[in-house]
Amino acid sequence: MQLRQKVIFLAITPLILALCAIAWAVRHQSVLLAEQQRATIQQAYLSSKEAELKHYVTLASHSISHLYDSGRNDVDTRQEAMRILSSLSYGDDGYFFLYDMQGNTLMHPRQPELVGQNLFELRDERGQPTIQNLLQRARAGGGLERYMWIKPSTHKPVAKLGYVVAMPKWGWMMGTGIYLDDVERALEKIDVQQSGNIQNTMLWIAGIAVAASVAIASSGLALNISELRVADAKLKVLAQRVVESQEEERARLSRDLHDGISQWLVSIKLQIEAGIIRLSSAKPGQREAAQAVFEHAADQLSNVMGEVRRISHNLRPAILDDLGLAAALHHLGQEYTLSSGTPVHFEASGCTDGLPDVANTVLFRVAQEALTNIERHAGAHRIDIALSGAEAGVTLRIQDDGAGFDAEGIAEHPKRGIGLRNMMERMEAIGGRFDIVSSDGGTVLTAYAGNHV
């Protein structure tokens, strides 16, 4: 995985984790709120139904109070009370029922087949004694009781909330109730709605996560493309500079070979031929003249050998590999002084032997390029080269008292400052630092290379 891809991955991963944590927290809180809301709605709904049932029982009691409070306990009076209660109803499944205190069914408008049956031992599907619990609630002063009962409209057992009261003068238990399946259906609708809201919230968070991830990935991709284009452009410029540098080096070598070694070799050839002619001549004194010619040719061969060594040294000084950077820079300064006449003062301090070979080469090339630029453009009368070593790296400082130049302007000029850009790029390639300050009083160049390139 490339570095840019790792950066994008490290940017997206915390975002996804954070959104997942937010989604979990939101869902957890939403579920808790939904449960609380459901419980609140259920409690409010049941409270309203309980009040409604109590009101119904009160109305039923008032409807037969003239009979119950008359003090009569005959069969006709009771039958009239049963008739009145059986005629009272509300909704499809709202009715009143009567039992005696032994569990015998006295009246049941929706299930007349139960009349006359003793249901004292009746138990629901969970094993709870239905009529016994109702009778116990009535004897305790009346109130609400929840139990299972067959719903007349569906003929299926459904949870029912009943309200019963005792009528001790006649030995009755009167009550009514509502079936809770409607309540459960209403609560199920609320559950479905809340579940849908939670799901929509999760989808929104997921959509935001996907959109954010796509945005980050797109931005990273666009940045990669942009950087690749810039890198490609820089690579093309660098390749062009390499080619230009190679051509310049070849042109310099060609000039050195043509203007120096080639002419000297031609001159030596002509002198040797002249010496051979003089040796073959019988005239007196020609042998001495031939000897002088050969001696001059030998001197020129020595010059040729020196020129070859100079060119070889410029290409890759052997002293750099044999004795190190400090000795190579000192030798470079001496040669510059001999060739240009400008004195070069070299000073080395600290340990400068810890640099890798590539860093030594780069600093040496920087010094070569700097001296070449000074000779061509600065017109300096004095040059100081200082090499200082430390535990972290080595610093090269080259100072001259020349005319100076606009460093920033030349570095940005497309056709000028090739040598300056070469020095900068060489230092960047090894992770070093390069700085140059120039004014009318001279130029100071500083290059730093670390011991761990």
Taking each helix axis from N to C end, the angle separating 418-429 and 357-373, rounded to the nearest 10 degrees, works out to 160
pLDDT at 139: 93
Query: Three-state DSSP class for 382?
Result: coil
Residue 403, burial from CB neighbour count under 10 angstroms (0-12, 13-18, 19+)? middle
Round the CA-based radius of gyration of the chain to a whole number and report it: 56
Task: Please tell me the pTM assigned to this model.
Answer: 0.43
User: Tokens 């569990």 — which residue?
Assistant: 103
Q: Answer yes or no: are the C-beta atoms of 201 and 209 closer than 8 Å.
A: no
Task: Please tell me the distance from the alpha carbon of residue 30 to that of residue 195, in angstroms, as a whole number.
Answer: 9
Cα torsion 79, 84, 87, 90: sign = negative
Asked if the 323-450 domain carries CATH number 3.30.565.10, the reply is: yes
Give the total residue count for the chain: 453
Query: Three-state DSSP class for 234?
Result: helix
For residue 84, give both structure tokens: 């009145």
Task: Please tell me the distance from the alpha carbon of residue 284 to that of residue 291, in angstroms, as a whole number.
Answer: 13
Phi, psi of 374 (to 5 degrees): -65, -45
Q: Class for domain 64-179, per CATH?
A: alpha beta
Of residues 386, 388, 381, 383, the one with CA closest to residue 355: 388
Residue type, 127: G
Every domain range in the chain assigned CATH 3.30.565.10? 323-450
pLDDT at 5: 65
Of residues 144, 205, 151, the one with CA closest to residue 21: 205
Neighbours of 451 (CB within 10 A): 16
pLDDT at 446: 93
324-353 per-residue burial string, b: 16 or more CB within 10 A, e: under 16: ebbbbbbbbbebbeeeeebebebebeeebe
pLDDT at 282: 53
pLDDT along the chain (453 residues), means of 10: 63 78 82 80 80 91 91 90 90 88 93 92 88 93 90 86 93 91 79 83 83 77 75 73 63 65 72 74 67 75 70 64 84 87 90 82 88 86 91 90 77 64 83 87 90 68
| DSSP one-letter code for 111 | -
Task: Please tell me the distance from the alpha carbon of residue 138 to that of residue 160, in angstroms, as a whole number.
Answer: 16
pLDDT at 308: 67
Q: Beta strand pairing status for 344-349 and 94-100? A: unpaired
Model confidence pLDDT, tens digit, residues 22-51: 888 888 888 888 788 778 877 877 788 888
Every domain range in the chain assigned CATH 3.30.450.20? 64-179
| DSSP one-letter code for 403 | -
